Chain A
Amino acid sequence: MSVRIAVQHLTKTHEGRVVLSDVSLEVRSGEILGLVGPGGHGKSVLLKHLPRLLVPDRGHILLDGRDLATLSGFDLARAREGFGYLFQNYALFDFMTVADNVAFPLRQERSAASADRGGEQRGVASREQQIDLRVRERLAEVGLERAYHQFPRELSGGMKKRVGLARATVTNPSIALYDDPTAGLDPVTSSRIFALILAMHRKVPGCASVVVSHDIDRMAAIVDRWIVLEHGTIAFSGLRADLLRALASAPPDGLLRRFFGDPAALPSHVTSGATA
């Protein structure tokens, strides 16, 4: 699997507090990377650095080998078009309807190429019709076709998350970032969100996805590789098998055991590697 994003020695401070310290990691093509750790230890900050929504104090973020810091504003914008981002607080535009929120990335795209992907087979004439078709398809996939004309304020938390998911993935991005996609949601909706993330991931060949969550059990069903962040540094990085080995030898009161529990009591999909 080729490396899509390489984070090298990333350090970030905020108001004198070190949030991330010398963090290095890779996000590879085709994988789902699970980023976990205690709250306030830098997961969301790290995620925001990947499309350079935050600028590191030290270190580099390489996208397909190109340092994002060296890109012009125009090139950075083009690079960001390849990302899909589901924000922790939905970040839906509250002055737009659900349909307009989902259509927004398509309408703003520099070229009509992405919008055409879903519509060209149907012989639809105008670009706006193609976008509308694409939006309806994506809303149907997340089970929200009836919310087409509604505004975000009229939706529940779970529905907002699904709209955010639809917006983040409507352009079929090659890199998808999900920041706590199931925070505050009930177990049924959480399972549905993770299933949707997996479906979206499989839809785009070679898609690299990063999921930040505290919902370890459900996350384990879709994640290929884990990174555990503690106090702004990487405490663990590895595949499922590495995780199981590390858990077996980890101290009972250590971070890994506190997060993942006793390896003997882990759900079968974690130990076997089966995906949802």
Chain B
Amino acid sequence: MTMTAVFAPVGRATLHVLATLGGAATVFGRVMRSLFPPRFDKSETWRQLFHVGVRSWPIVAMTALFVGAIMVIQTAYFVRRTGATSFLGYGVGYSVFAEIGPVLIGLMFSGRVGANNTAELGTMVVTEQVDALRALAIDPVRYLIVPRFIAMMVMLTLLMVLGDLFAIVGAAATAQGLLGFDWRVLIANLVESHLLDELLMGVVKATSFGIAISCISCYFGLGASGGAVGVGRATNHSVVANATAIFLLDFLVGWLFTL
């Protein structure tokens, strides 16, 4: 096997990652230019806020319910072994608010909204709808991208707060129904644990995920070419890149909160 055969795929993958980073950063830069001063379509922004929120809250609520339920089961195992029942609320709260909740909700949101966004924009590109906007003297970034950016950033942040509430409900119901813990004790533990930092960390993560998902999904959507096959390929790349970005940002934000 020659050196070229070994290093060429690595080089290609590196270039692909760099191109994605550069592309998403360019989208972010153009969004910022349209936001300061604000020059974007307000009615389209409201439409996107409604669509993203309404389309996503059921899946976020369901994910959060299960996240809460799973985390209480996992935490209960250690609590029972050590007899430290007062840590049940803290264990559930910490993992749900700061780690598992944001990541799983972010991944679900990325699959639901991010992939849909790439497919929608990609279809608009290959059917010349984006060209039609430009021909009508309308900047696609201001009309299509900025409203999606705002909608994803705002809605994922709000959905994360909603998800935290549903996760607590899921945890309390599972603790009471399946494990025999008093749900009121769990909630009291949670309140006494002072998990404001973890809650804040989760919200910051959600906001950063929203920014990343919108920029990445818009980048792949606008770069789609080659008809239906090209849109499918762009959507596939978008899902993979969004998942990678979520894990990377989860690490970065988590690390920043330890400083």
Q: Which residues of B does A touch, CB under 8 Å?
A: 127-129, 131-132, 134-139
A85 lies within 8 A of B137 (CB): no
Query: Given the complex of chains A and B, what is the CA–CA distance between A92 and B130 in angstroms?
Result: 10
Q: Give the interface segment out of A76-84, A124-132, A235-243.
A: A76-84
Q: Which of B127, B131, B132, B139 has the most C-beta atoms of chain A within 10 angstroms of its own C-beta?
A: B132
Q: Are B136 and A91 in contact (CB under 8 A)?
A: no
Say whether B137 contacts A53, CB under 8 Å. no
* Inter-chain contacts of A51 with B (CB < 8 A): 134-135
Min CB–CB distance B228 → chain A (angstroms):
13
Chain B contacts for A148, CB-based, 8 A: none
Please list 24 pairs of residues, one from A and one from B, whose beta carbons are closer than 8 Å in the complex, sorted by A's number: A48-B131, A51-B134, A53-B134, A53-B135, A73-B139, A77-B137, A77-B138, A77-B139, A78-B137, A80-B134, A80-B136, A81-B136, A83-B135, A85-B132, A87-B128, A87-B131, A87-B132, A88-B128, A89-B128, A91-B128, A91-B132, A94-B129, A104-B136, A108-B138
Min CB gap A101→B, angstroms? 9
A73 to B39, CA, bound (A): 14
Are A105's CB and B131's CB within 8 A? no
CA of A85 to CA of B128, assembled, Å: 11
For B128, list chain A residues within 8 Å (CB).
87-89, 91
Report chain B residues within 8 Å CB of A80.
Answer: 134-137
Which residue of the partner chain, among A73, A78, A88, A105, contacts B136 with CB atoms under 8 Å? A105
Cβ-based interface call for A93 (8 A)? yes
Total interface residues on A, CB under 8 Å, equals 21
Provide the bound-state CA to CA distance between A80 and B132, in Å: 11
Distance in angstroms from A175 CB to nearest chain B CB is 11
Beta-carbon contact of B137 and A81 below 8 Å: yes
* A104 proximity list for chain B (CB < 8 A): 136
Q: Which residues of B contact A108 (CB under 8 A)?
A: 136-138
Alpha-carbon distance A62/B79, docked complex (angstroms): 77
CB distance from B45 to the nearest CB of A (A): 14
Residues of A within 8 A of B134 (CB): 51, 53, 80
The residue that B131 contacts in the complex, of A53, A73, A81, A92, with Cβ under 8 A, is: A53
A59 and B131 CA atoms in complex are apart in Å by 21
- B129: nearest chain-A partner, CB-CB: A91
Tell me the bound Cα distance from A52 to B200 in angstroms: 47
List the B side residues contacting A73 at CB < 8 Å. 139
B residues near A94, Cβ cutoff 8 Å: 129
| B127→A89 contact, CB < 8 A | yes
List which A83-126 residues lie within 8 A (CB) of chain B.
83, 85, 87-94, 104-105, 108
B135 touches A93 (CB 8 A): no
Q: Give B143 Cβ to nearest chain A Cβ, in Å.
A: 8
Question: Could you tell me the distance in whole angstroms from the C-beta of B182 to the nearest C-beta in chain A?
Answer: 50
Contacting residues, chain A, for B136 (C-beta < 8 A): 80-81, 85, 104-105, 108
Contacts A77-B137, A93-B132, A108-B138 aside, 20 further interface pairs with beta carbons under 8 A come to A48-B131, A51-B134, A51-B135, A53-B134, A77-B138, A77-B139, A78-B137, A80-B134, A80-B135, A81-B136, A85-B135, A85-B136, A87-B128, A87-B131, A87-B135, A90-B127, A91-B127, A91-B131, A104-B136, A108-B136
Most-contacted residue by chain B among A48, A78, A81, A91 (CB, 10 A): A91
A105 to B137, CA, bound (A): 9
Residues of B near A87 (CB, < 8 A) are 128, 131-132, 135
The 8 closest A-B pairs by CB, nearest first: A91-B132, A91-B128, A85-B135, A80-B137, A77-B137, A87-B128, A81-B137, A105-B136
Chain A residues lying within 8 Å of B138, measured Cβ to Cβ, are: 77, 108
Q: Across the interface, name the chain A residue whose C-beta is closest to B135.
A: A85
Of chain B, the residue at the smallest CB distance from A177 is: B135
Tell me the complex Cα distance, A88–B131, Å.
Answer: 11
Distance (whole angstroms) from the CB of A52 to the closest CB of chain B:
9
Q: How far is the CA of A248 from the CA of B137 in the complex (A)?
A: 44
Which chain A residues in 145-178 approach chain B with CB under 8 Å?
Answer: none
Return A185 CB to nearest CB of chain B, in Å.
18
Q: How far is the CA of A77 from the CA of B137 in the complex (A)?
A: 4
Most B CB contacts (10 A, CB to CB) among A78, A87, A88 go to A87
Q: How far is the CA of A108 from the CA of B137 in the complex (A)?
A: 8
The complex places the Cα of A83 from the Cα of B135 at a distance, in Å, of: 7
Q: Give Cα A78–Cα B132 distance, bound, in whole angstroms.
A: 15
- Once bound together, how far apart are the Cα atoms of A41 and B110, in whole Å? 41
Q: Please give, as numbers and ranges, the residues of chain A lying within 8 Å of B132 by CB-CB distance.
A: 85, 87, 91-93
Give the most central of B136, B138, B139: most A CB within 10 Å.
B136
